[in-house]
Copies of this chain bind each other. A is one copy, B any other.
Amino acid sequence: MTIIEMLTSSLKTAGMRLTPQRIFICQLLSETNAHPTAIEIFERLRVQYPSLSLMTVYNTLNTLVDLGAINALGHAGDDNVHYDGNITPHLNLACVSCHKIADIASPKMADLEGEINAASGFKIIGASMLYYGLCPDCQNLTVRETYQ
């Protein structure tokens, strides 16, 4: 099952209608790995769909988060909530300087989830794993700026 199928089917399963707006939003979430904010999603989609309202974007994102189909990552140093359409076990790496977020796959995380379940009694719905630091590019910038 592809990511977009997973997103749309989770909406359908929850008894919601597959409107064009919702499909566009799911599509964008499934295609990007840029971890956009609600407003970024709105700005990008309004080009193809000018009548789209920001409220619909928020509603759809909130619904998908509640259903556990996407993740709401925390602030990446820029005070905005970033959304991640990829809920397979992976780690997010946010750069505190340029605010980009990169992914790395982590097979170890699946192990972690089982352990947590056993240790805490929590029924895990999802995870938002955000490491933050300086990406390679910004480390170079900082060094240059500091020592030149």
The answer, yes or no, to whether A144 is at the interface (CB within 8 Å) is: no
List residues of chain B with CB within 8 A of the CB of A104: 116, 119-120
Known: A72-B75, A75-B72, A128-B130. A136 touches B112 (CB 8 A): no
Closest approach, in angstroms, between the C-beta of A75 and any C-beta of chain B?
6
A134 and B116 form a contact (CB under 8 A): no
Per-residue contact bits, chain A 45-75, to B (CB 8 Å; 1 contact, 0 not): 0000000000000000000000000001111
Residues of chain B within 8 A (CB-CB) of A91 are 112, 116
Q: Are A132 and B127 in contact (CB under 8 A)?
A: yes
Nearest CB in chain B: distance from A70 CB, A: 12
Identify the A interface with B (CB < 8 A): 72-75, 81, 91, 93, 95-96, 102, 104, 106, 108, 111-113, 115-116, 119-136, 139
